Amino acid sequence: MRKKISVQDLQLGMFVDELCGSWMEHPFLRSSFKLTNTKDLETLQHCGITEVWIDSAQGLDVAVRVNAISETDEQQKTNAALLRATKNQHAMEARVSLDEELDTARKIQAKAKLAITSMFQEARMGNALPIGETVSLVEEISQSITRNPGALLSLARLKTKDDYTYLHSVAVCALMIALGKQLNVEDDLLQSLGMAGLLHDIGKMAIPDDILNKPGRLTDPEFDVIKTHPVRGWEVLKAADDVDDIALDVCRHHHERIDGNGYPDRLSTEDLSLYAKMGAVCDVYDAITSNRSYKDGWEPADSIRKMAEWKNGHFDEAVFNAFVKTVGIYPTGTLVKLQSGRLGVVTDQSTKSLLTPKVKVFFSSNAKTPIPMQIIDLARSQESIANVEDPALWGFDLRKITGL
């Protein structure tokens, strides 16, 4: 049974189900947990939060351990359904346009790049990782994804060859959270998924720069060095404080394949966790859509098509299908030609169909001339997408068109 109580009435053994107040007011990675540590109790009572919700069915009650009858299964199902509906309603109300979210997403990305760069430097020097400093950052990324996932995901894709290593971690963090939302995971688990994405490549701090940033094809011995980074990262994280099992799992296993031909442990589908399978999809998508030292990134829609061709050996089918729903068949930033001949850039996904995103049209392919920009919601239009276009062949700078 849930009860709201004063933090001063908290006792060890209680199950904290929800912290009342802004996430900025407390340092906890999760918003629900069993209170077993005196230090955590003292932190809660002095961090500025005045009230919390406890669940007496999972821990101590205000006065005594609960022996009373808990909610019936039917009540629990009803309450869970109401909670999901409320969350979905709040998410819909929080949605903003791509243009509205871009400035905020740009600031979050810049802050995240500095944090990851600092973390890599600390890891290289053998210092303790500042995990606690990134908790609020992951929450900011999660909130941006809720408001408009296309903003941060599109920005994260536009990396230079020099900042790839750091911004790749930010992108995978955002993708893991977005995929987690698609899979309806609980809010506290979203925080863990985001942290796992942020930390998954920390082992690359141990790879020499001349190999990590080599502009040409790697030799077999060089690739063997690259393949050590999951275990090197896992070792660093295992020695750190406040790193949970999900981050450890994703760090070590994001290069595994469901057919058992990945690395480092050659695990196959039945031995891989859901989180590792999620990490594998998010890692590959961002890698192939980004400009690297040895190749230019593929367009988002082409990348989804390529990944669909690989999925039988590489990816868990259910996870990959959920990922496609997350980013879309025509991800934000994709240049498309409509049946009318107008060219446009995908700016947002539709809740109705993967085939009907919102598109900002700006050019007539028939007249070969610019036209007034207009947002078309294909879910409410007679228009449809004819095909995906390569912006390089048209000479378009999509950043200017989309505002990225």
Q: Is the pLDDT of residue 370 over 90?
A: yes
Q: Which of 156-165, 214-223, 264-273, 372-381 has the lowest mean pLDDT?
A: 156-165
- Is residue 293 over pLDDT 80? no
Instruction: Tell me the Ramachandran region of residue 21: left when phi exceeds 0, alpha when psi lies from -120 to 50, beta otherwise.
Output: left
48 pLDDT higher than 70: no
| CA–CA gap between residue 57 and residue 200 (Å, rounded) | 35
Q: Are residues 158 and 304 in the same domain?
A: yes
Amino acid at 295: K
Are residues 154 and 185 both part of a single domain?
Answer: yes
Which residues, including other chains, have CB under 8 Å from residue 217's CB and lie 6 or more apart? 294
- pLDDT class of 26 with cuts at 50, 70, 90: low
User: Average pLDDT over the chain, rounded to whole?
Assistant: 86
Instruction: Specify the pLDDT at position 23.
Output: 46
Do residues 182 and 309 share a domain?
yes
pLDDT grade for 132, boundaries at 50, 70 and 90: confident
Residues with Cβ within 8 Å of 14's Cβ and at least 6 positions away in sequence, in order, are 34, 35, 54, 56, 59, 60
Answer for the pair 105, 83: CB distance below 8 angstroms, yes or no. Answer: no
Smallest CA-to-CA distance from 205 within 129, 152, 136, 99 is with 129
Above 50 in pLDDT, residue 80?
A: no
pTM here is: 0.74
> Are residues 345 and 280 located together in one domain of the fold?
no
pLDDT (average), residues 246-250? 97
Length of the chain: 404
Torsion angle in degrees (nearest 10) through CA of 53, 55, 56, 57: 170
Which domain does 56 fall in, by range? 2-70
Q: Of 27, 54, 70, at which residue does a domain stop?
A: 70
- Check if the beta carbon of residue 285 is closer than 8 Å to that of residue 154: no
Angle at 199 between CA 197 and CA 200, to 5 degrees: 65
Quick check: 73 pLDDT over 70?
A: no
Contact (CB, 8 A) for 352 and 209: no
pLDDT at 82: 45
pLDDT grade, residue 47 (50/70/90)?
low
Q: What is the spatial distance between Cα 116 and Cα 160, in angstroms, rounded to a whole number?
A: 16
Does any domain span residue 354? yes
Is pLDDT above 60 for 64? no
Q: Are residues 200 and 311 in the same domain?
A: yes
Q: 246 and 125, same structural domain? A: yes
Average pLDDT over residues 77-88: 47
Residue 267 shares a structural domain with residue 209: yes
Whether 83 is covered by a domain: the verdict is no
Q: Is residue 84 part of a domain?
A: no
At residue 105's C-alpha, the angle toward residues 103 and 107, to 5°, is: 75
Q: What is the pLDDT of residues 87-120, one digit of tens each?
A: 554 454 478 888 899 999 999 999 999 999 999 8
Q: What's the token pair of residue 251?
A: 């760090």
Are 146 and 205 in the same domain? yes
Tell me what pLDDT residue 404 has.
67
Percent of the chain with pLDDT over 90: 53
Task: Report angle CA 225, 153, 322 to the nearest 5 degrees.
Answer: 85
CB-facing half-sphere around the CA of 212: CA atoms within 13 A: 17
Same domain, 216 and 323: yes
Q: How many domains, the chain?
A: 3
Q: Domain for residue 81, yes or no?
A: no
* Rounded Cα gap, residues 86 and 339, in angstroms: 39
Look at residue 91 and tell me if it is in a domain: no
CA–CA separation, 49 and 7 (whole Å): 7
In tens, the pLDDT along 166-200 reads 899 999 999 999 999 999 888 889 999 999 999 99
CA-based R_g, the chain, Å: 23
Helices (H), 200-316: 209-212, 220-226, 229-238, 245-253, 274-289, 300-314
Q: Does residue 369 sit within a domain?
A: yes
**Highest mean pLDDT: which of 58-62, 349-353, 380-384, 396-400?**
380-384
- If we measure between CA atoms, which residue out of 388, 387, 386 comes closest to residue 339? 386
- In three-state secondary structure terms, 345 is strand
| The CA-based dihedral angle spanning residues 51, 54, 60, 64, taken in that order and rounded to the nearest 10 degrees | 60
Same domain, yes or no: 19 and 48: yes
Specify if 75 maps to a domain. Answer: no
Asked if 365 and 260 sit in the same domain, the reply is no
Nearest to 229 by CA among 253, 251, 204, 210: 204
Helices (H), 18-97: 38-46, 73-94
Average pLDDT over residues 129-135: 86
> Residue 59: inside a domain, yes or no?
yes
Domain finish residue from 308, 327, 346: 327
> What's the whole-number mean pLDDT along residues 393-403?
82
pLDDT of residue 51: 84
Same domain, 56 and 139: no
| pLDDT(66) > 80 | no
